[in-house]
A and B are shown apart, each in its own frame.
Chain A
Amino acid sequence: MWRDALTVVGKDLRVEISSRVTTTQVAPYAVLVLILFGFAFDQNHSLLDQAAPGLFWVAVLLCSVLAVQRSYAIESADGTRDALRLSGLDPAGIFLGKAAAVAAQLVALEALLGAGVVILFGTRLHDPALLILTAVVATTGLAASGTVYGMVASGLRVRETLLPLLVLPVVAPVLLGATQAWMAALGLSHADGWRWLSLLGSFAAIYLALGAVWFSTLLEET
């Protein structure tokens, strides 16, 4: 399973590197979202400072939908989905591989967005360990749940509009947990950031387990 996952993550990332959709389209989109938030709150800088973690994670959520859509768009051309199904790779491995590829792209986007928040919003870092750990765990949860719902919606004619409707309410706990943990890590609140991190960990674990178990059912039939 792990070897299959590595094969799939390698394939997805190579496709991404050669097509450069993430770097030339998704990344500029992410920065644009931040700039638009800046415009929306421009008159009130202290509000922007307070809201920075939430705005950051909303931007990540929006990008995660695009990343997941892209992850399945590359399987829709030239019958590659059937090829993937017939390849004999372990479905759980395919799921983990695709989720890891999405997570890798999201981590790169988060680094960019993080720099954007610091530069554009003037946010100061307080607890970098909690900050980075939260980002990693939250990204795992986002990638795992996104990959499950991406598979559910893939192959449907209405997938572009259906995927956000399915994914965004489900990942709302990630937005809540990651924002609260980041508020603590940036010194903006006195909440226990590590408790929110455990919520994010449980979310990621549940979706990784569900995806690994049910991906074969979804892959067979959709």
Chain B
Amino acid sequence: MTGTSDRTTRLLGSAALVTVAVTAWLGLSVTPPDVVQGQLVRLIYVHPAVALACYVAFGLSALASLAYLWPRTRSRRWDRLAAASAEVGVVFCGLTLVTGSIWGRASWGVWWTWDARLTLTALLFAVFAGYLALRRTGGSPDARAKRCAVVAVVAALLVPVDHEATTWWQTLHQGDTLLRANPLIHGLQLWTMLLSFVAVGLLLAWLLLHRYRVEVLEDRFEEEGMAIAIAERRAEGALR
């Protein structure tokens, strides 16, 4: 393997592109504005989906880290998956904060407020940013993997707290729209919102696959890089 692209990623990428485009078209021009929120409601086709993708990515990172910590399932593959999903998760967490901030500015009048959900999401971002910094430290791959695995599992404990924040604390952030006995969204708006989850899910899978393969290539470079460089220098010497 020399690149990160193959038939699966091309298929996933195309599907992601198409679903994102359809979501954008439905969300921006077909669905009606909301009675209360007006045009602002269109952010519901972006913000919840990227937030869920962030939770899924961090959850996946924690599960892969647990699999690495468990001696019977210990394998470099789990470490690579944990690293890849944490990095993609940080991107989606950043997007969640940015889209949430835009929504907050328009509906609450402020870019940021010290609300439980917002603060916890910012903490989640900071904790996983720390995890990414930890991944860039040296040492043997095995030692680094174990260190990072412990941190990822502990960090991901924040995910359920963040999700339940709107229930546990009195927050400015609205509660669940979908996950309730009587969902607050219906018809075309509901289907567009569901499609946004599929679109962002496909995007997440596509990014994750590419990022995982970058990890594989990095590992290979660490293992074989020196041997390849020596072989190249020898070949140069032979030419002279």
Contacts and interface: CB of A to CB of B under 8 A. Distances in A.
A35 interface: no
Contact of B69 (A152, A158, A217): A217
Interface stretch (A46-54, A131-139, A162-170): A162-170
Given A166-B151, A172-B123, A218-B146, A156 B130 contact: no
Given A172-B123, A214-B69, A217-B69, A222 B134 contact: no
Interface in A141-190: 148-149, 152-153, 155-158, 162, 165-166, 168-170, 172
B143 A152 contact: no
Nearest to B140: A221
A155 B139 CA distance: 9
B126 interface: yes
Contacts of A206: 157
B207 interface: no
A152 B154 CA distance: 12
Given A218-B147, A221-B146, 10 more contacts: A152-B151, A156-B137, A162-B133, A169-B130, A170-B154, A214-B150, A217-B146, A220-B146, A221-B143, A222-B143
Contacts of A210: 150, 154
17 contacts: A162-B133, A165-B133, A166-B134, A170-B154, A172-B123, A210-B154, A214-B69, A217-B146, A217-B150, A220-B146, A221-B140, A221-B142, A221-B143, A221-B146, A222-B139, A222-B146, A222-B147
B134 A152 contact: yes
Nearest to B137: A156
Contacts of A148: 150, 154
Contacts of B139: 155-156, 222
Interface of A: 148-149, 152-153, 155-158, 162, 165-166, 168-170, 172, 206, 210, 214, 217-218, 220-222
CB-CB nearest 3 A-B residue pairs: A169-B126, A221-B143, A166-B130
Contacts of A170: 127, 154-155
Interface of B: 69, 119, 123, 126-127, 129-130, 133-134, 137-140, 142-143, 146-147, 150-151, 154-155, 157
A170 B120 CA distance: 10
B99 to A, nearest CB: 21
A214 B153 CA distance: 11
Nearest to A145: B154
A149 B154 CA distance: 10
A175 to B, nearest CB: 11
Contacts of A221: 140, 142-143, 146-147
Nearest to B146: A221
Contacts of B143: 221-222
A162 to B, nearest CB: 6
A157 B138 contact: yes
Nearest to A214: B150
B137 A157 contact: yes
A200 to B, nearest CB: 14
B146 to A, nearest CB: 5
Nearest to B150: A214
Contact of B138 (A152, A156, A168, A169): A156
A149 B206 CA distance: 33
A53 to B, nearest CB: 16
A169 B127 contact: yes
Contacts of B133: 162, 165-166
A60 to B, nearest CB: 18
A201 B150 CA distance: 21
Given A165-B130, A166-B130, A214-B69, A158 B147 contact: no
A79 B143 CA distance: 18
Contacts of A217: 69, 146, 150
A143 to B, nearest CB: 16
A162 B126 CA distance: 12
Contacts of A157: 137-138
Which of B130, B133, B139 lies at the interface centre, i.e. has the most chain A CB atoms within 10 A of its CB? B130
Nearest to B148: A152
A217 to B, nearest CB: 6
Nearest to B114: A176
